[in-house]
Structure 1
Amino acid sequence: MRHRTVVSTVVSTVVSALCGALALALPAQAATSGPSGHTIVFGHRGASAYAPENTLSSVQRAADLGTDWVENDVQRTRDGALVVIHDTTLARTTDVKRRYPRRSPWAVGSFTLAEIKKLDAGNWFAPRFRGERVPTLGEYLGRLDRTGQGLLLELKQPELYPGIEGQTLDVLGRAGWLDRRHLTRRLIVQSFNADALRTTHRLHPGVRTGFLGSPPVSQLTRYAAFSDAVNPPQGAVTAAYVAAVHRLMGPHGRRMRVDAWTVDSAAAALRLVKLRVDGIITNRPDVMERAVRPSAAEAA
């Protein structure tokens, strides 16, 4: 197992270097998020205003709405499986309290995958989603392969799961998500934890990354060494801040991006577009798409 991991890391590093070189030869927009240079809409945990967050139903709902990108959260079970769930506890979005009443605080990392797979992750949202399960990262990637969507993957509190950066890359690699097409057009890894992004960049330099937060302008240069984007809460976005980020080049030799979260009103979206943000992360991707896309008349 140890030997296989070392070999995998070495191969990954070589491949990533080649992919990085190839990516630099592509048009700039190909290495951002969409083909036409417009503001990208990311479905937050899928289309989480309309389906239970981080589930396959939420991914599918986002796809049905025409959302090209979805965002998710990755954590690790007690027995080492990667699952897609936001909270570090299972209590809010599953029936874990009923099924395992004596295991408070119901931390994700204290349950095995088999135990988590017994939980209902949909009924809390609406009865029609009863029986929805917490997906593994592999299952989630499989659904995206069918829908064709891109993935903004968040390493959720990686300090709780030592080594999750390499493990996540391993799962992505086995699923075929570390080839040139995915690296330049369909995958971004983000986190609030700068060390996790540094580790991800070191293990696989070809992977685009985004730092969640709004570092002071004086510190942005440090982040540009390992992060392709700064993704702040919408309230922290100003024209001056966006301009400061855009002045910097990220590790792949392109202008750094600004993707703001979590934006659900059309008025807020329009404000951010005027401030020249590159992406909007939202629970209501259909509302955001209508807000940020010009009409045919305006486009002409």
Structure 2
Amino acid sequence: MTNFLRRPAGHPRIYGHRGARSVLPENTMAGFAYLRETGVTAVELDVQNARGRVPVIIHDPLLPMAHTRDAQGNWLPAPGPKVIDLTVDELRSYDIGRLNPATEYAARYPLQRPQDGARIPTLAEFLEWAQADSDLLINIEIKSHAHQPDLGDAPEILAADVAGMVQHSGLAARVVVSSFDWRVLSALRVHAPDIARAYLSFEQPGQDTNIIDGGALMDGLNRKDFGGSLPALIAAQGAKAWCPYFGDLTPAELAQAHAHDLAVNVWTVNADADIRRMIAMGVDGIISDDPARAQYLLDTAA
């Protein structure tokens, strides 16, 4: 295998999703530090731009009411404001260290430990911290909105800003950039061909999908031009990895991806049975909200 993201069958790399969302507040420095403490050596985090083209680590384009309090300690009554409209200093006035118990989101993570006072990190802050950990593999998911451009900067800007920061940090060799908006990845291929790219996909029936042949989120690409094979299409873009939703992946598609030397990293896998099934199938990476649990199941797999 020539791809540094590939792993021997049955020995996938475990990635902490948004740090360790089941255990500590998502996309926070406390969550990232937890990975180091538990021995998990890969992290997935979300990046978009604040006002002034400053990359910050947060998933939603609007401040989420499920885990955001204002400077007076009040829960947000509704999502917002937009991240793109706020400066870093304005973003840092919000506390993201606790789940709002009145929300369904909080019910999904009943064991998440509060970290009152946690703030939205900048990508620069995270990368400086990561320089001290030579074993950490970093998956930066760039959030972009093809159908709602008012929610963030253009794909070309996002790709350029993140690539510049990663290259300046000296960590490019252990960074992979992923996105559901493949226009971001096309721009990254131009701006920084040395940074590994991973193509996210979601194809559950009856739900929103980014896999629409010829659509904006696929940057106009079409599977029919590659024999109907999504892995072949992604490999032809010079990608290092394909990141499908674990419920979409079939053994045949996994074999196709591996035949093209693509790593296959599945998201977001939390149930024990699903983690074990992905290990047995032979994926290269498992992205999980409870990475220590996933690592335990991997270490004790028969």
Residue 34 of structure 1, CA deviation: 6.8
Structure 1 position 241 matched with structure 2 position 248: no
- Give SS of 1:246's match: helix
Match of 1:196 in 2: 184
Match of 1:141 in 2: 127
The change in CA–CA distance for 1:247 and 1:266 in structure 2 (over 3 A counts) is same
Residue 161 of structure 2, aligned match among 158, 164, 167: 167
By percentage of residues, which structure has more helix? Answer: 1
Instruction: Name the amino acid aligned to 1:237.
Output: L
Partners in 1 of 2:11 and 2:113 — Cα distance? 37
The change in CA–CA distance for 1:34 and 1:176 in structure 2 (over 3 A counts) is farther
Structure 1 position 208 matched with structure 2 position 196: yes
The change in CA–CA distance for 1:105 and 1:119 in structure 2 (over 3 A counts) is closer
Match of 1:58 in 2: 31
Unaligned runs of 5+ in 2: 101-111, 147-151, 203-210, 212-222
Aligned residues: 257
Unaligned runs of 5+ in 1: 1-26, 249-254
Residue 117 of structure 1, aligned match among 92, 96, 120: 92
Partners in 1 of 2:300 and 2:113 — Cα distance? 37
Partners in 2 of 1:102 and 1:110 — Cα distance? 18
Match of 1:28 in 2: 2
The answer to whether the 8 Å contact 1:265/1:287 transfers is: no
Residue 158 of structure 1, CA deviation: 5.6
The answer to whether the 8 Å contact 1:96/1:119 transfers is: yes
Residue 234 of structure 2, aligned match among 210, 223, 231: 223
| 1:214-265 deviations in Å (ceiling 9; x for gaps) | 55653433321322211111110111111121122xxxxxx00111110112
Match of 1:6 in 2: none
Match of 1:278 in 2: 284
The change in CA–CA distance for 1:51 and 1:219 in structure 2 (over 3 A counts) is closer
Residue 93 of structure 1, CA deviation: 2.9
Residue 140 of structure 2, aligned match among 142, 153, 164: 153
Match of 1:257 in 2: 263
Partners in 2 of 1:99 and 1:263 — Cα distance? 32
Residue 127 of structure 1, CA deviation: 7.5
TM-score by length of 1: 0.78
Q: Greater relative contact order: 1 or 2 (C-alpha under 8 angstroms, separation 6 or more)?
A: 2
Instruction: Name the amino acid aligned to 1:281.
Output: I
Residue 80 of structure 1, CA deviation: 2.0
- The Cα RMSD (Å) is 2.6
Report sequence identity in percent. 27
TM-score by length of 2: 0.77
